[in-house]
Amino acid sequence: MPEIKIPPHSEEAEACVLGSILIDKDAIVSVAEFLRPEHFYNENNALIFQALLDLYEERKPIDIVTLKDELKKRKILTKVGGSAYLANLVNQVPTAAHVEEYGRIIKDNYTKRELISAAARITESAFDESQEATEVLDRAEQAIFALSQKHLRQVFLPVKEILAESFDRLDELHKTAGGLRGIPTGFKDLDNTLAGMQDSNLIILAARPGLGKTAFALGIAQHVAVKEKLPVGFFSLEMSKEELVDRLLISQADIDAWKLKTGRLDEEDFTKLSEAMGELAEAPLFIDDTPALTVLEMRTKARRLMAEHGLRFLVVDYLQLMRSVRQLENRVQEVSEISMGLKNLARELKIPILA
């Protein structure tokens, strides 16, 4: 008979949190910002914590007497263990000094249980033969990514701290006289118009064929990675990675493109190329030249870049060469769906995307 595994939990940590709050009314302040009743494994402990939160939000005194009264009003005192259980909670901890650490243990165990549930749903989807593997993979990554973001979610900050950060940033912008709120493109007039490329924005680069869209997009990516030192992902659906690197070298070394293509390089050119290679090698620029990518495939790769390198800017060269995961009536609908998918990706990763 297979071993039945109990989901990760710590009833001891749960009891210690509740006991800490009962012996020190200020202890709830340390955990209320990140701990919720649903994080508790024991349902009775969750009901007690909810009652404590409600007392706190209503600005009522918190102790064993007020809690007992609140649980009586809700007609759940007996259900949660009665007066004896509440007294036991008070005796559980000698001090409330470690309440936040106990709370973190509860939250970590909750995250593990959520991960187990997500894995079960993913397994069920994988067994469903009516679903495409790429769709299952996308939903799986989305579920795990959402869970990781939820686990690492920043707590509320007092406006005083945010104002201090804002003032420092505005002061720095004033001192530099050219500072931007968004990511600089390297093109002064464009930066003045956009105030830099803003997070969660999808920026469409449109022009007639042959007017240099790739060169322009690559120039922005190069500036962000080399000058700003920010991680950049570049999806090249038209050019190979070798062609892109040649363009990067020509731009970074400031040499004649014809010389590089024909191999007619002199000593000075080689010196410039050597320096350019060193600079580019240090730049956090990542290139993918897989042709005919779907938004689903691109999303998977972008999430991985975000997780591994802290992606800050993404370039797609270019949108019209992407394909939809499903058959649509016409190309206009397909491009519209792709654009919406890229916009959603920009919002999910909270980065600007140029396409």
Phi, psi of 286 (to 5 degrees): -120, 125
Name the segment(s) of the chain with CATH classification 3.40.50.300. Answer: 197-354
Name the segment(s) of the chain with CATH classification 1.10.860.10. Answer: 11-103
Q: For position 174, what pLDDT does the model report?
A: 67
Of 238, 279, 334, 337, which one is the catalytic site residue? 238
Q: For position 63, what pLDDT does the model report?
A: 93
Q: What is the mean pLDDT of each run of 10 residues along the chain (355 residues)?
A: 81 95 89 89 96 88 94 95 93 90 94 91 89 84 75 60 69 64 89 89 88 92 95 93 90 84 80 88 93 82 89 91 72 84 91 95
> Which tokens hold the place of 47?
């009901």
**Homologous superfamily of 197-354 in CATH?**
P-loop containing nucleotide triphosphate hydrolases (3.40.50.300)
Can you tell me the distance from the alpha carbon of 340 to that of 332, in angstroms, rounded to the nearest whole number? 12
> Which tokens hold the place of 275?
């320096």
- For residues 217 and 225, the answer to whether their CB atoms sit within 8 Å is no
**Homologous superfamily of 11-103 in CATH?**
DNAb Helicase; Chain A (1.10.860.10)
Q: Is the pTM of this model over 0.85?
A: no
Catalytic residue flag (residue 238): yes
Can you tell me the distance from the alpha carbon of 82 to that of 352, in angstroms, rounded to the nearest whole number? 55
Tokens 């890229």 belong to 342
Q: For position 207, what pLDDT does the model report?
A: 83
- For residues 188 and 214, the answer to whether their CB atoms sit within 8 Å is no
